Structure 1
Amino acid sequence: MVHTVLAALAVWSLAAAAGGPPASAADSLATAPGIRQAPGVRQAPGVIYTTFQVAVARGTAHGHLLTVDLRAPRVSVDLLYPGAVGARAPVSALATARGATAAVNGDFFHFVETQHPGVPATGAPSGPAVAAGHGLKAAVPAGQRFGPAPPPGASPEDVLGIGYDRRARLDRLTLRGAAVTGHGTLPLAGLNQYALPVDGIGAYTSRWGPAARARAVCGTDTDRAAPCTARVREVTVARGRVTAVADRPGDGVPPGSEVLLGREDGARRLAELRPGDPVRIGHRLTGRSGVPLRCAVGGFAVLRDGRTVPGTDTVTPAVRTGAGIGDGGRTLYLLALDGTPGEPGLTLTELAAVLRGLGARDGVDLDGGGSSTLVTRAPHGGQVVVRNHPSGGAERPVPNALGVFAED
């Protein structure tokens, strides 16, 4: 299947659609086997926008591509989010608020709640998230993820990250944290998550936002639809002391406070705490690469070291958003497909083939379907424009996006 796709792959630039000056030959994307590439549009030095077409057995998929040279001195990438983990906004609004040159949507997220009536959706993403060097949240259990089934060996902790060394990489972010009390040390199993592991304790900071935490104690590590547990305890901590306790999840986090939420055995351990008890809370996200990440977004790999990840889906086409890494981490490819009626979409295996054909050695699948959105800013500081055609005819609010920043 992969070789068939690569043999059929064709890319044409439609520079006029971007409304900007053509890029120079030096800025053009490198030609790769199976790809016909014309010069794109230079959004800024180091950032190229093009459109493309991919011939597959079901028809021709149309997409939009950003190629980001992380070696360019005035180019950077950061995670955009609407000021709270449990919140959503359109990609165009996220890019406008931060002054980004371009952006694509990010992680899968808790979009709707149909399995637990009366429990509101949080809008929070599934995987870890890092913005401006700050760890926003950790990964939900594998069975609580939204989106397609990942390939064997994938982890809900998998991310695409950009390090302070200005290189993109595949990484895996694990939560390390604990609450130290007079009764002992309580390991943390969650940070700002819409779902906690069974028997676990999660910490919620002001970055969580005003969303309700009721969903965090529903489902299990392997079954998202499992009932909500009644064994719940919540403890609010401020200035190193317990200020309140409750037997159900609340919403929001009081200013200057942090909330500990436990389920099952985690609830039992938190039940030992009383108002006034001392508590010290610490947590951080630790990557396997050893390189501090400036930003990270959850997404599982479909391409690794130039090869499609074994077990990647070959049969289910969909509108896709993907990110690829090339040139030893110095080039970032961000693409989103059109979602207009009749579009054939891509399977995950085909997405891997497209990313490889563009020059990527590694690549991840990001949220697709109605979430797939790519935006760029019009030349000379103009407005942010949605370049692809999202499913349903309009942008879907999303929890985060990868934003590209560059100076003309």
Structure 2
Amino acid sequence: MVTVRQGEAVRVPVSRARALAAVLLAWCALLAAATPGTADAVWTEVARGVAYRTVDVTGVGGPARVHLVSVDLRAPGVGVDLLTPGAVASRAPLSELADARGAVAGVNGDFFNITESQHPGVEATGAPVGPAVAARRALKSAVPTGQRFGPALPPGTDTREVLGVGVDGRARLGRLALDGSVSTPDGRFPLGGLNAYALPVGAVGAFTSDWGAVSRVRATCGTDTDRAAPCSTETYEVTVRDGRVVAVADTPGRGTIAAGSEVLVGREAGARSLRALEVGDRVGIRHRLVAEGSRVPYVFAVGGYPVLRAGEPLPGLDGRTSAVRTAGGVADGGRRLLLMALDGGPEFRTGLTIAEVATVLDQVGAVDGFSLDGGGSSTLVTRDRDAPSVTVRNHPAGGVERPVPNGVGIFARR
């Protein structure tokens, strides 16, 4: 449990029920001052509709500093998009990603395939766990939930969860599922992944030019429930260009994929389906990401997991393990996006529990909250007016920026 008061750190009890009465009056005063555009000097305007501030809090692990960016999605010229290094299986520091796109603010994004110690000789891809949408274009689908990297998910959630902004200009939490298929001379079968570093057992996945040059072998390792399980011994790869098979291979390859080409990778039953294809065969590949329970397409979406819904923390959130964290929040009916990253400096390195993060998001006005990657990845940047590059506002926990696969970028007229 955590509470916040303007200008100083406050020790609070672990029990939220006991703490609410004690902090209500102080927090109401903070909320009144916490809206960008008011006379509160604590907020610094980054651009019209975008503001930055810090708040000191104390959680069960000790003091923490919260770096916040508030984004008014109704402000003229304000937009949100996914920051990427140009390939799904690639990483770069957030500040470089933001500068390359001219973003005025941003935070790091999804959890990712950071290591492959359980699979000797297999390259870690650096690719993110969840779905990714940039500029209305689907870049990748989610990996199986058992193949994710990161802390345990809250009950009832999975790797398809996203924080995003729809074509209606509203931020929202949701789920994005892959809807795809492969049509061959012998029939049609479902597609199990799009530019995903792990495929379901028995599935076929598609890799496009968005993937990058990293080896595709990792897609055939582990199982739906055990990330560390051995790599499959039954694999096959087919390269399709202009609707026809142009190459086949017994094992997944590596290297860039030309625009207009797609590579199909199969494991187990999926490999057997692909082995039936011959060079010259016609193949149709279809894929898209579909929003669960919504007809509004996403302009931007990033993976992670929800921690707050309708103003209530999700049940089962960890209230014991403190860490440096990054999160996003949705406020004002989706018209305001909140970005949050904790400071990783020595005096704040214990961070907050994920349950405390949900509480902080609630207290700064978010109705829905979403956890992004934390620890050494947690980074928040803003750009001073007329500055040629962004400034990293928090202290990364590792002392330097960790390269990340994607981030949430904020764009605005200056």
TM-superposed CA distance for 1:11, in Å, is 3.8
TM-superposed CA distance for 1:382, in Å, is 3.1
Determine if contact 2:238/2:274 at 8 Å carries over to the other structure.
Answer: yes
TM-superposed CA distance for 1:335, in Å, is 0.7
Equivalent residue number for residue 89 of structure 2: 86
Structure 1 residues 11 and 86: alpha-carbon distance in aligned structure 2, compared to 1, 3 A threshold: farther
The structure 2 residue matched to 1:9, chosen from 4, 10, 17, is: 4
TM-superposed CA distance for 1:253, in Å, is 4.1
Equivalent residue number for residue 211 of structure 2: 208
Question: Is 1:331 paired with 2:329?
Answer: no
Superposition TM-score, scaled by structure 1 size? 0.92
Determine if contact 2:202/2:271 at 8 Å carries over to the other structure.
Answer: yes
Pairwise CA RMSD? 1.4
Equivalent residue number for residue 346 of structure 2: 341
Question: Size of the alignment, in residue pairs?
Answer: 386
Determine if contact 1:105/1:367 at 8 Å carries over to the other structure.
Answer: yes
The structure 1 residue matched to 2:275, chosen from 271, 274, 277, is: 271
Equivalent residue number for residue 52 of structure 1: 55
Matches within 5 A, 1:68-87: 68-87=71-90
Question: Is 1:262 paired with 2:266?
Answer: yes
Determine if contact 1:9/1:56 at 8 Å carries over to the other structure.
Answer: no
Opposite residue 346 of structure 1, the aligned amino acid is L
Opposite residue 106 of structure 1, the aligned amino acid is G
Whole-Å separation in 2 of the counterparts to 1:33 and 1:365: 25
| 3-state DSSP of counterpart to 1:67 | strand
TM-superposed CA distance for 1:381, in Å, is 4.1
Structure 1 residues 32 and 132: alpha-carbon distance in aligned structure 2, compared to 1, 3 A threshold: farther
Whole-Å separation in 2 of the counterparts to 1:12 and 1:266: 58
Structure 1 residues 149 and 34: alpha-carbon distance in aligned structure 2, compared to 1, 3 A threshold: farther
Superposition TM-score, scaled by structure 2 size? 0.91
Matches within 5 A, 1:184-195: 184-195=187-198
TM-superposed CA distance for 1:32, in Å, is 5.1
Whole-Å separation in 1 of the counterparts to 2:173 and 2:78: 20
The structure 2 residue matched to 1:382, chosen from 381, 388, 391, is: 388
Query: Which has the larger displacement, 71-80 or 381-390?
Result: 381-390
TM-superposed CA distance for 1:209, in Å, is 0.7
TM-superposed CA distance for 1:51, in Å, is 1.3
Determine if contact 1:103/1:403 at 8 Å carries over to the other structure.
Answer: yes
| 3-state DSSP of counterpart to 1:222 | coil
Whole-Å separation in 2 of the counterparts to 1:12 and 1:41: 15
Deviations 1:282-331 (A, max 9, x none): 10000022211000000110000000001111111110000000000001
TM-superposed CA distance for 1:34, in Å, is 7.6
TM-superposed CA distance for 1:234, in Å, is 0.4
Structure 1 residues 83 and 139: alpha-carbon distance in aligned structure 2, compared to 1, 3 A threshold: same
Opposite residue 270 of structure 2, the aligned amino acid is G
Determine if contact 1:196/1:202 at 8 Å carries over to the other structure.
Answer: yes
Equivalent residue number for residue 365 of structure 2: 359
Q: Mark the runs of 5 or more structure 2 residues left unpaired by the alignment.
A: 9-25, 34-39
Opposite residue 243 of structure 2, the aligned amino acid is G
Whole-Å separation in 1 of the counterparts to 2:222 and 2:6: 43
The structure 2 residue matched to 1:321, chosen from 326, 330, 334, is: 326
Matches within 5 A, 1:179-328: 179-255=182-258, 256-288=260-292, 289-328=294-333
Determine if contact 1:198/1:264 at 8 Å carries over to the other structure.
Answer: yes
Deviations 1:45-90 (A, max 9, x none): 1000111111223321012110000010110000010110000010
Opposite residue 351 of structure 1, the aligned amino acid is V
State the identity as a percent.
59
Equivalent residue number for residue 370 of structure 1: 376
